[in-house]
Amino acid sequence: MIKYDLKCGMSHSFEGWFSSSADYEEQVQAGLLACPICGDLSIERAIVAPAVKRSSLKKDLKKTNIPNLNELELKTKIRTLTKEIEKNTIDVGENFAEEATMIYNGKKKSKPIRGTATKKEENKLKNEGVPYIKIPLIKDN
């Protein structure tokens, strides 16, 4: 997975996780990426300073269990994102593809929605140009 710092046309900053740089490019060109703050579809990678690591830090990293810390931090961030998404969207469940298409075509009032779609429904949304983004959600146990 690759993490990119992204920004929209309104200069809102946020992170995005992609399986590859090609996956990021495909999603941007297909209009599948939207700013989680304002919904703007004009998304680009933000300029970030390169990380410079000291050699002594590498030795310290080998002594600790960093993968578990990174996994815990990632899960915490995803849980926080999940709560924000749940607070600011309407759950349409398995009707996501149908609802998204109707909103995109102007047959329903625009509103932030979330839900699930089959791979076939995702392909149909993509072919019809309906913008959406897939986000892994983690619920509290």
- Whole-number pLDDT of residue 118: 92
Query: Within this chain, do residues 84 and 96 fall inside the same structural domain, yes or no?
Result: no
Query: Within this chain, do residues 99 and 74 fall inside the same structural domain, yes or no?
Result: no
Residue in the structure block whose two tokens are 């703007």:
40
Span 105-124, mean pLDDT? 91
> In the predicted model, is pLDDT for residue 119 greater than 70?
yes
Residues 6+ apart with CB under 8 A from 130: 100, 101, 104
- Whole-number pLDDT of residue 125: 92
Q: Read off the pLDDT of residues 38-58 as tens digits, 9 standing for 90 and up.
A: 888 888 887 766 655 555 555
Query: Within this chain, do residues 95 and 81 fall inside the same structural domain, yes or no?
Result: no
Q: CA 30, CA 138: separation in Å to the nearest integer?
A: 26
Q: CA 123, CA 135: separation in Å to the nearest integer?
A: 16
Q: CA 90, CA 86: separation in Å to the nearest integer?
A: 7
Question: Given pLDDT bands bounded at 50, 70 and 90, which one contains residue 107?
Answer: very high
- Whole-number pLDDT of residue 127: 92
109 vs 72, 77, 112, 132, CA distance in Å? 38, 31, 10, 16
Query: Within this chain, do residues 82 and 102 fall inside the same structural domain, yes or no?
Result: no
Q: CA 12, CA 109: separation in Å to the nearest integer?
A: 25
Query: Which structural domain range is residue 25 located in?
Result: 1-48
139 within domain boundaries: no
Number of domains in the chain: 3
140 within domain boundaries: no
- Whole-number pLDDT of residue 120: 95
- Whole-number pLDDT of residue 123: 92
Query: Within this chain, do residues 96 and 73 fall inside the same structural domain, yes or no?
Result: no
72 within domain boundaries: yes
1 within domain boundaries: yes
102 within domain boundaries: yes
66 vs 5, 60, 72, 114, 124, CA distance in Å? 22, 10, 10, 33, 40
